[in-house]
Amino acid sequence: MSEHKEKKVTARAHANIALAKYWGKRDEELNLPFFDSVSINVEDLYTETTAVWNEEDVRDSLSINGWEVPAHKLGRIQKLLDEIRRRAGLEGYRCVLTSRNNFPVSTGLASSASGAAAAAMAASVSAGLSLNERELSQLARIGSGSAARSIPGGWVRAYAGSAEDGSDFYASSLFGQHYWNLHIFAILVDTKPKRVSSTDGMLACQKSPFWNAYMETAKHHADAAQNAIFQKDFSLLREVVHSSTCQLHALAATASPAIFYLSPKSLEIIEHIHRQSQAIPVCCTLDAGSNVIVICEDVVYPFVKNDIIALGLPYIQSKVGGGTTII
Ligand code: PMV
């Protein structure tokens, strides 16, 4: 393995926004979801991570935008690195991960997805592993459930599988990034880190009295989203995106203690977009945070953009993005 010593590898991974959301873990240790999810990669939200293994350090390390993450906070990234070290036979080696995001982290803009996907690819290639896309998506899942979907490009589905060891879980592209010319706006309602992590939120929601009812509906969202995308039917897509989003946030409010990822400002924007979506091809979604993601068809792009500018909030504009690559 010594030929991989000091081999620096940098990967770029895009954040992804779930259209049919993953929420809930059938196995917390393995980070396995209950049901399938569907997302789009976001071209202009990305993480670039450099990995290098060496024999001198006493522990693995990760810095994000210059901030050194304390060892006890490496969490799932530690598990990811342990798995790569085991597979590559690099016992005695430690990994240095240096990561940069071009957008605010931990605010519900899927920085954990792009972060874990970039770390999985950079660290595994630097360790000398040559994994295929399916294997990489499984590896990225160890770091963050949604990270699996940032490995393939474009429109992506994560298949939950049913094997206890997670061997049949994987993510793959449904369609490439240029399949459907949609525009994405990430409206930055709040750039402070969210108070409740996705993992804590999911585990709390699994104890909600409404969990089973939620599951019964949410498990159908991935098929509905895939069908809408296949037909390029925006009104069908809007229906599933709004259901998936509102059901997740309504469920969160029924956890004990209740979780409110939304802020009054996000609700105001959601209501506005829902009203507009009755007339034009626009919809919106939020992950576990208060920032609102607006998606629209090309034909209404100038109108929607002006409307967003009028909100007076910072926003990042993007198209659908590609998969994780070595740069
Ligand atoms: O991958 P995690 O653990 O950050 O969870 C992601 C959860 C949501 O973003 C809310 C939904 C999703 O499918 O991305």
Residue type, 85: R
Q: Which atom of ligand 1 is nearest to the CA of 146?
A: 1
CA of 232 to the centre of ligand 1 (A): 24
CA of 72 to the centre of ligand 1 (A): 22
Question: Quick one: which of 123, 158, 128, 125 has its CA closest to 31?
Answer: 158
- pLDDT value for 181: 97
> Strands 37-54 and 94-101: what pairing?
antiparallel
pLDDT in tens, 292-317: 999 999 999 999 999 999 999 999 99
Predicted confidence band of residue 262 (pLDDT cuts 50, 70, 90)? very high
- pLDDT value for 5: 58
CA of 88 to the centre of ligand 1 (A): 28
Start-to-end C-alpha separation, the chain = 23
CB of 22 closer than 6 A to ligand 1? yes
Q: What is the mean pLDDT of the chain?
A: 95
Question: Which amino acid residue places its CA nearest to atom 9 of ligand 1?
Answer: 287
CA of 308 to the centre of ligand 1 (A): 25
SS (H, E, C) the chain: CHHHCCCCEEEEEEEEEEEECCCCEEECCCCEECCCEEEEEEEEEEEEEEEEEECCCCCCEEEECCEECCHHHCHHHHHHHHHHHHHHCCCCCEEEEEEEECCCCCCCCCHHHHHHHHHHHHHHHHCCCCCCHHHHHHHHHHHCHHHHHHCCCCEEEEECCCCCCCCCCEEEEEECCCCCCEEEEEECCCCCCCCCCHHHHHHHHCCCCCHHHHHHHHCCHHHHHHHHHHHCCHHHHHHHHHHHHHHHHHHHHCCCCCCCCCCHHHHHHHHHHHHHCCCCCEEEECCCCCCEEEEEEHHHHHHHHHHHHHHCCCEEEECECCCCEEC
Q: Residue 40: exposed, middle, or buried by beta-carbon count in 10 A (0-12, 13-18, 19+)? A: buried
CA distance 97 to 95: 6
Q: What is the mean pLDDT of residues 211-220?
A: 98
Question: Which amino acid residue places its CA nearest to atom 6 of ligand 1?
Answer: 146
- pLDDT value for 243: 98
CA of 36 to the centre of ligand 1 (A): 12
C-alpha distances (whole Å) from 95 to each of 69, 85, 99, 312, 325 are 13, 9, 13, 42, 19
CB of 247 closer than 6 A to ligand 1? no
Tokens, residue 237? 């897509």
Would you say 10 and 48 are in contact if contact means Cβ atoms under 8 Å apart? yes
CB of 21 closer than 6 A to ligand 1? yes
- pLDDT value for 98: 98
CA of 76 to the centre of ligand 1 (A): 14
CA of 42 to the centre of ligand 1 (A): 14
- pLDDT value for 142: 97
Q: What is the mean pLDDT of residues 41-52?
A: 97
pLDDT in tens, 169-199: 999 999 999 999 999 999 999 888 788 999 9
Question: Which amino acid residue places its CA nearest to atom 10 of ligand 1?
Answer: 287
CB of 198 closer than 6 A to ligand 1? yes
Tokens, residue 74? 């490496």
The maximal CA–CA distance of the chain, rounded, in angstroms, is 61
Q: Residue 241: exposed, middle, or buried by beta-carbon count in 10 A (0-12, 13-18, 19+)? A: buried
- pLDDT value for 107: 65
Q: Is the pLDDT of residue 2 over 70?
A: no
CB of 144 closer than 6 A to ligand 1? yes
Predicted confidence band of residue 4 (pLDDT cuts 50, 70, 90)? low
The residue to mutate among 16, 19, 21, 37, having the most atoms of ligand 1 within 8 angstroms of its beta carbon, is 21
Q: What is the mean pLDDT of residues 157-173?
A: 98
Q: What is the mean pLDDT of residues 8-31?
A: 97
CA of 110 to the centre of ligand 1 (A): 7
Q: Which atom of ligand 1 is nearest to the CA of 113?
A: 1
pLDDT in tens, 68-126: 999 999 999 999 999 999 999 999 999 999 999 998 876 668 788 999 999 999 999 99
- pLDDT value for 192: 82
Strand partners, 326: 11
CB of 18 closer than 6 A to ligand 1? yes
CA distance 172 to 154: 9
What is the value of pTM for the model shown? 0.96
Q: Is the pLDDT of residue 13 over 60?
A: yes
CA of 167 to the centre of ligand 1 (A): 20
